[in-house]
Amino acid sequence: MPGPTKDELVQMLQESKAREKDAVEREKETASQLDDFKAVLHDYKAELHDRDACVAALEEQLRSIKPEAPKLEVGPNERLIHEMKMMFQDTMKHLTEQNKTQQHQIDDLKTQLTNVEKSKGPSSGPKPVAPPKLQPDFTIAKLKSWRKAWEDYAQMCKLSEMPHERQVATLRGTFSLQMRNIMDEVIGVDDADSPDELLAKIEGYIRKKRSVMLDMVEFDNRKQKASEDFDSYLVAVKQLADDADLVADHCDRCKVNCLDRRMAARLISGVHDEETRTKLLEEDKFPTQTNVIEICRSRESARRSATEHRRQSEKDINAVFKTYPRNRNRSQSRGRQPRP
């Protein structure tokens, strides 16, 4: 299948740089918020320290109060001491309430700091890489490959932990502008649709837009090229089978068997090596797709090994022939008798 064009690659690069720039800006903003929270927390601690110092001074002042009048004039001093004790108790009660309030505020600040640090994520490790933009001209096979990349991206982004609106926004961020317009104007979406439901609607749209008959013809005509290895041929045939939807009208029970037989027949008919095809046709029972794949791979591996062995043997023989004439001339010159 054709890869992305140069313009698409440039666009993907620009979008990746934009995402990296946004990530840097968000990280700077988060760092600024952390500094602000730490400054507020420091101020609260300083205020608590000042209040503790004030309480200590009041306690010291209360302990230093002593009656200086004679014993007959103790009554007013005792009242003064009692008033000072009451004032001290009221002050302590007020400070205790303020300390509780400030402690709650400090706990809230710590919780906010923890949430900010969690939102920053791990400081190291690979960053999630978004899949290429989903285009409306994708085939079913290409859509399936794209969907695997999307599932990996969703797993790394922890998409399941996000709220519904953010999940949908993350998915739409992987669509091209043309695909977004088609989603809104042609396919039609509901606000309650999940990402899986949106992708199912897109798959249905792509299937309706393509000619199933043309896909079947391409599947039936696909043959292995002379320079193509078997695994590449197998992948191409499977992708054509997905595009053609060969067993769409079959029941669930016979879908697997029918698809397996059609795939096996296509691989046997299209394999390039005639000896392999002959061996497969000589089987008593119709081979399964797994058997065909195993036989084709093993024979291709054997041919590759035989070719490499033959090339090495030819190389060794050529090396011997290159050195043989020189040794023969040297031996003849040693055994030659002088002329009379």
Q: How far apart are CA 261 and CA 107, in angstroms?
A: 67
Residue 180 has a pLDDT of 85
Do 286 and 238 share a structural domain? yes
Do 111 and 154 share a structural domain? no
Do 230 and 197 share a structural domain? no
Q: Considering the domain boundaries, does residue 13 fall inside one?
A: no
Q: What is the pLDDT of residues 217-248, one digit of tens each?
A: 888 888 888 888 888 888 888 878 877 777 76
Give the predicted TM-score (pTM) of the model: 0.44
Q: Which two tokens stand for residue 168?
A: 């949908």
Do 159 and 80 share a structural domain? no
Q: Considering the domain boundaries, does residue 126 fall inside one?
A: no
Do 156 and 95 share a structural domain? no
Do 186 and 108 share a structural domain? no
Residue 146 has a pLDDT of 86
Q: Considering the domain boundaries, does residue 160 fall inside one?
A: yes
Q: Considering the domain boundaries, does residue 257 fall inside one?
A: yes
Q: How far apart are CA 153 and CA 158, in angstroms?
A: 9
C-alpha distances in Å from residue 184, one per residue of 170, 178, 201, 210? 16, 10, 12, 20
- Number of independent structural domains in the chain: 3
Point out the residues of the chain with pLDDT beneath 70. Answer: 1-4, 6, 9, 61-80, 116-126, 211, 248-255, 316, 320-321, 323-340
Do 196 and 267 share a structural domain? no
Do 239 and 206 share a structural domain? no
- Residue ending a domain, among 210, 235, 262, is 210
Q: Considering the domain boundaries, does residue 182 fall inside one?
A: yes
Do 103 and 59 share a structural domain? yes
Q: How far apart are CA 205 and CA 189, in angstroms?
A: 12
Do 32 and 112 share a structural domain? yes
Residue 40 has a pLDDT of 74
Q: Considering the domain boundaries, does residue 109 fall inside one?
A: yes
Residue 74 has a pLDDT of 46
- Sign of the C-alpha dihedral computed for residues 245, 249, 250 and 252 taken in this order: positive
Q: Considering the domain boundaries, does residue 135 fall inside one?
A: no
- Residue ending a domain, among 154, 188, 210, is 210
Show the domain range for 43.
24-120
- Residue ending a domain, among 57, 92, 120, is 120
- Rg (Cα) of the chain, in Å, rounded? 41
Do 290 and 234 share a structural domain? yes
Q: Give residue 191's Cα distance to chain centre.
A: 25
Q: Considering the domain boundaries, does residue 11 fall inside one?
A: no
Distance from the first to the final alpha carbon of the chain: 82
Residue type, 248: A
Do 229 and 197 share a structural domain? no
Angle 198-199-201 (CA atoms, 0-180°, nearest 5)? 65
